[in-house]
Each structure stands twice: as structure tokens, then as C-alpha cells.
Amino acid sequence: MRSIDEILHDLRDEVRLTLKGNIDVSEVEFEGADLAIYTREPKKFADNGDLVRNLAKKLRARVVIRPDPSVLMGQDETIEKIKYIVPVDANISNYHFDLDTGEVIVEAEKPGIVIGKQGDTLREITKFTGWMPKVVRTPPIESKTVKNIRNFMRSCIDERKDFLRSIGRTIHRDIAPRDNWIRVTTLGGCREVGRSCFLISTPDTRILVDCGVNVGSDDSGTPFLYVPEVTPLTQIDAVVVTHAHLDHSGLVPLLFKYGYKGPVYCTPPTRDLMALLQIDYVAVAAKDGKTIPYDSAMVREMLKRTLTIDYGTVTDIAPDVKLTFHNAGHILGSAICHFHVGNGAHNVVITGDHKYEKSRLFDAAVNKFPRVETVFTESTYGGGKANQPPRKVAEKEFQHIIQETIKREGTVIIPAFAVGRSQEVMIVIEEGIRKGIIDNVPVYLDGMIWEATAIHASHPEYLNADLRDMIFHKGSNPFLNECFKQVDSHTMRRKIIDEPQPCVILATAGMMNGGPVMEYFRAFAPEEKNTIIFVGYQAEGTMGQRIQKGWKEIPLPRNSQGNSNGSGTVKINLEIRTVDGFSGHSDKQQLLNYIRKMNPRPSFVLCEHGDEKSCTQFSSSIYSKLKIKSQAPKNLETFRLE
């Protein structure tokens, strides 16, 4: 068994032999999953587009070419050269230089023009400047979160480079021949919604998939991270996050608080959104006087060690595990995780939350894989007759309710999750106003909705093709409609409340367990002309579910000013409506179709992420209707996968 230094020595020899001394190579080193080749002659690689592909094939590694720092043109000169090379109608808006990787990130309104035909323009930039260009689209709405994360990542370049090299040496190490086995331990999210967490184990690797928090529970809010399979946290090789919602990502920073120092793998939008939601989570906990599980410093530690992977990219995350993310259709950047374990020993799919239907924002969840034997699937709506109405029917009903409320000069309150549901609702409202179905009234966005929408605008490649075409080719961005007004201060919120007019208020939190929606509800609940529309799942015991069930009087906590409106209760006279069909989760029929049409057909399906009834009934349905072995696991069970 070779040491990692011996492996690198052999690779360096192979690189130089392949290049036959024609290109000067200054360094060869593992950086994460990639083999980085540093050269003083990046122009020669730029001139020969097949050279890197041939190297990668021969070395059986993901090869990236990095220019040696000594050959990089000055930053000001590089900007002028790029302006000369790239046609002006690309509308370049910004440049960011990464000295360690030799990359220059070019922000442009039309990235395709910067890239050029088959990457010709990019190669020209490298040829004349030495820098390796990376092109991103200029976001139509600036996101403070994305901007801050980019600035932070640039501030810790040296530390991150050392980290990447350390992880690379771990991933590419030789492992001793052993028995081939894989086990999955359920640490949270089974027969419940919240605190999703799974551990994949092999003889050489331990991978944690999701680490969520149940924000509505005081006694079962966290995964079972103290069991022997997980402790100490330093023995975990990698953490994989399916998507940004707190019940899947909320406690990832806590791992770093208690000793974890490894990588976190997710898609680029998930990184941005989970940082936004985690920072808000600890801020709300502090405001409510609850125990703060971690502070913002731990979120920064997480970001330093987060490695983003695009859909469809196969990545080594351990010596015996390859990971591929696929679109899950749930929220921006949500991923179906495909794990290829061992030398084809087993293939596991963990779906996270998914939507097996094309929505206003995303394409349907992917269920075609090279190989799959075992599937862990969400079961949120897997019980009973939990089928949702067709989306078009739901949208029409939703627009009708809003217009009827406006006609009687009322206010519409829509409690919504900041990420995903809000953006779906915004598009339907914008279309209603644009087509004259809904009167042109203000649509106020309160809470994190505006910032979450800005993050969506920063990652257009993760939206469905129809929406991308609408935004980039037809010049119609529904998120930029003038009807949307950001509520950016408490003063503005009070004005909306104190000077009521027909309008729509989209505000967090989605289950009414806090957030600005509670101030609006307190103010508008007593009036019959107003309406509250629920467009998302209301969990058992939440304020939203009590209102949805028809309670006529609700005790409310004091608001941010310490006022409790006398008795602290609010009489509910406004119209209460629920519109199903907007959910980012698959309904029962979609869940069944997802498994039924999966290619190849799995041999074992485990049903999680749902209440006990939903999980057990969906498991029974899979076995009775599809004749596939299935089970609804409990937390703290371990399965050896054959």
C-alpha cells in the first residue's frame, strides 16, 4: 500500500512523461477531489483544448490547470486586456481575482459572449494574461449574502488552500483491501419531520448526510449525534447537505463547534441559502431567549470548509465513495444525492426533499441513475389520500381568492417560507397582475424573502429552462415587477398596518412560529374583509395549524415592542383559506411515480421524513403496488445494505 507522497510522486512522473518536457510544470498536488497541475506556461494548455482531457483520462483523475503565480499579468492590465478581448455587448460588471488559484472571476450580463464559441474567448484570456477565467452571470438583484460570502472566501484563501490540499490527500489515499460492506444509521428524521440526519459507513469511511434541527421541538430538536457510531466527530470524513432548509442543514455549524474539521459538500445555491437561514436561526433564538446552539463564527468555519458541486458532476469525497448531485425540484439547489460506494459494491440514493413535477421554478426531480440498489426517500405526503390538486387549478384558485379580497378592500396575508414557496407564490401573483386577473396592488415582502429572492437571481442556472428563457431571452424577470415592495424597516411595517389599503403581504415564518407575519396577523385578524392564505404544510402544534383548524381566538406572545394588545389574545374573524398545490414536496401519487419510474429499479426503499402514519403507509404502498422491498425505519436503526 503506497503512501500519499508516493502516489503524488508517481503522478508527477506520469504528468511530465505525458507532456514530454514540452510544458514547464512547477507543481502537482491534490486539491480536494482535483489534481492541480501548476505551470509557467498556461498558454500552451490554452492552445490545446484536448491536452487536459487526455491527461485526466490517462491519470484517471479530475485535472485542473493552475498558472504559476510568477506568470500572472498584473490585475489592472488583465482587466484592460479582457475588455479588449471580450465584445462590449457582454456587459461585464465586475472582476474578482484569486491569486492562489490563478482564477479571475468575470461577472457579465451575457456570460455566453465572454465564454465564446466552444470556450475560444476564455482560452484567449488565458493565453494573453495567464489567468484562468471563470464566468458568472451578473445577478439582476444584488444579494448581500452572496456578496458577503464571496468576500469572506477571498479573505481566507491561504487557509482554504491548505484545507483543500489536506482533504485531497485524505480522499486520494490508498486503502487496504477489506470486506466490502456498507451500513446506514438513522440519526434523525425517521417517522418525523425535522432533524434529518444519516450516517453512511464503510470499512474506511464515515459520511454524514444532513444535520438538521427541529425548530418546533424542545426535547427532540437535534439528531442523535452522541451515539458511538458518530463520536468523536473528528472521525467523520465528510458531511453532505441535500438542501438549505433548517430541518436538513440547521445544525451543520454545530459540528464544527464540537471538533469536526472536514469538508461540507453541497450545491452553490445551498451554500448561500443555508448560511442565510443559519444566521437568522441563531438571531431568532437569541431574540426569543432560547439557548443558542452556535454563533456566527461557527457558520464562518462551515463556509471555509464548504466545497460546492454542480448537478451532474461526479466527485470523489472519500477513497471508496463518489458523490453526484441531481436536481431534486424542491428548493433552489436542492439535490438528490447518489453515492457510488466501493468499486461498484453498492449505490445509494438519498432524496432529501423532492418534487416529482415541474414547477414554476424547477424541473421535476431526477430519478435516472447509472446504478441504484437502495433508496432513502422522503414521505411527507405519503399517507392516506394525500394527493394535491393540479398546479394550474391551485394557481387559479389562489389568484381568485386574492382578487376577491381586494374587491372588498381587504388585505391578504400569506405566511410563507422565505426559500422556495415565496418565490413560487411571487411568480403566480406577478402573472395574475400582469394579465389583469388581480388588480395592480402593492405586494409587500417582509422577512428574509427579498434576500432569498436575490439569491435565486444569483443562481439562474438552477432554475428551469422556461424561467431562464423568460428572464434572459425575453427580457421579462417576474421577480423585478414593480408590484413587489421590500419591507426594509419596522417603520414601513407599521405604516402598512396603521394605514391599511388593499394589498398582499407575503411574510415569514411559514408556520407562524414567529417572524413578521405575526405582527400583520395581530393587526388584520379581527377584520372579516381580510384573508389569510396558507400555501404550505402546517405541522402539528404550530400556530399556523391552530389557525388553519378554525380557532376563533388565539393567544399571541408579546411583539417586538413588548406590547401584547391587552389580554394577549386575538379574535379571528378574517377569512381562512388553504390552497394546496404549491408544496415543494411530492404528493403521494408523485412519490409512488418517482419510485415506479426510477431507472434502474431499486431493490430496497426506506421511507423517512414524514410523520409515523405517512412513513408506514407509504412503505406499505411501495411494497403492495410496486413489489419492492420497503421499510419505514425508526431513528437509531442501522441497516447493512447488500
Mean pLDDT for the chain overall? 92
Same CATH fold assignment for domains 4-70 and 72-138:
yes
Question: Domain 4-70 falls in which CATH fold?
Answer: GMP Synthetase; Chain A, domain 3 (3.30.300)
Give the contacts of 554 (CB within 8 A, at least 6 positions apart): 525, 543, 546, 547, 569, 570, 572
Q: 144-155 vs 449-458: helix axis angle to the nearest 10?
A: 60
pLDDT recorded at residue 564: 39
53-93 pLDDT, tens per residue? 889 999 988 999 888 888 899 999 999 999 999 999 999 99
Q: Of 151-160, 498-507, 559-568, which gets the smallest average pLDDT?
A: 559-568
Q: CB atoms < 10 A from the CB of 124, how many?
A: 18
- Per-residue pLDDT band for 538 (boundaries 50, 70, 90) equals confident
The pLDDT tens digits for 176-191 are: 877 889 999 999 999 9
The residue assigned the cell 388588480 is 439
Q: What CATH class has 391-578?
A: alpha beta
The residue type at 157? I
- pLDDT at position 42 over 80: yes
Q: Strand, helix or coil at 480?
A: helix
Residue 560 has pLDDT above 50, yes or no: no
Cell of 593: 411515480
First-last CA distance in the chain: 27
Residues 197-212, mean pLDDT to the nearest whole number: 97
Least confident among 46-50, 117-121, 253-257, 429-433: 46-50
**How is residue 281 written as a grid cell?**
436561526
Angle at 342 (CA atoms; ends 338, 348), nearest 5 degrees: 25
Average pLDDT score over residue span 592-599: 98
pTM: 0.92
Question: Predicted confidence band at 559 (pLDDT cuts at 50, 70, 90)?
Answer: very low
Judging by DSSP bridges, how do beta strands 503-507 and 103-108 pair with one another? unpaired
DSSP class of residue 172 equals T
More confident residue, 160 or 184: 184
Residue whose C-alpha is closest to residue 594's, from 385, 332, 585:
585
φ/ψ of residue 434, rounded to 5: -65, -35
Q: How many helices (H) and strands (E) does the chain have?
A: 21, 28
Among 151-160, 566-575, 577-586, where is mean pLDDT lowest? Answer: 566-575
Instruction: Return d(Cα 500, Cα 129) in angstroms, integer.
Output: 59
Q: Break the chain into its structural domains and give their ranges.
A: 4-70, 72-138, 182-385+585-637, 391-578
State the pLDDT at residue 608: 98
Grid cell listed for 35: 489534481
pLDDT band for position 339 (cuts 50, 70, 90): very high
| Alpha carbon distance 495, 491 (integer Å) | 6
The residue-averaged pLDDT of 361-382 equals 96
Predicted confidence at residue 558, as pLDDT, reads: 55
CATH topology for 72-138 is GMP Synthetase; Chain A, domain 3 (3.30.300)
Question: Reduced to 3 states, what is the DSSP secondary structure of residue 506?
Answer: strand
| Cβ atoms within 10 Å, residue 362 | 25
Give CA separation, 328 vs 260, 354, 586, in Å: 27, 5, 10
- CA 49/CA 132 separation, integer angstroms: 13
3-state helix, strand, coil in the chain (%, to 5): 35, 20, 40
For residue range 248-274, list pLDDT tens digits in order: 999 999 999 999 999 999 999 999 999
Of the candidates 594, 614, 610, the one whose C-alpha atom is nearest the C-alpha of residue 602 is: 594
Q: What is the per-residue pLDDT for 563?
A: 42
pLDDT at res. 557: 64
Residue 275, pLDDT above cutoff 60: yes
Q: What percent of the chain has pLDDT over 90?
A: 72
- Residue 6 vs residue 215, higher pLDDT: 6
Of 97 and 236, the structure prediction assigns the larger pLDDT to 236
Give the mean pLDDT of 28-39.
94
Q: Which of 281-290, 549-558, 585-594 has the highest mean pLDDT?
A: 585-594
The architecture of the domain spanning 182-385+585-637 is 4-Layer Sandwich (3.60)
pLDDT at 566 over 50: no
Cα(267)–Cα(306) distance, integer angstroms: 10
Q: What's the rounded Cα separation, in Å, for the pair 328 and 349?
A: 12
pLDDT computed for residue 386 by the predictor: 67
pLDDT exceeds cutoff 80 at 565:
no
Q: Does the pLDDT at position 233 exceed 70? A: yes
Predicted confidence (pLDDT) at residue 484 exceeds the cutoff of 60: yes
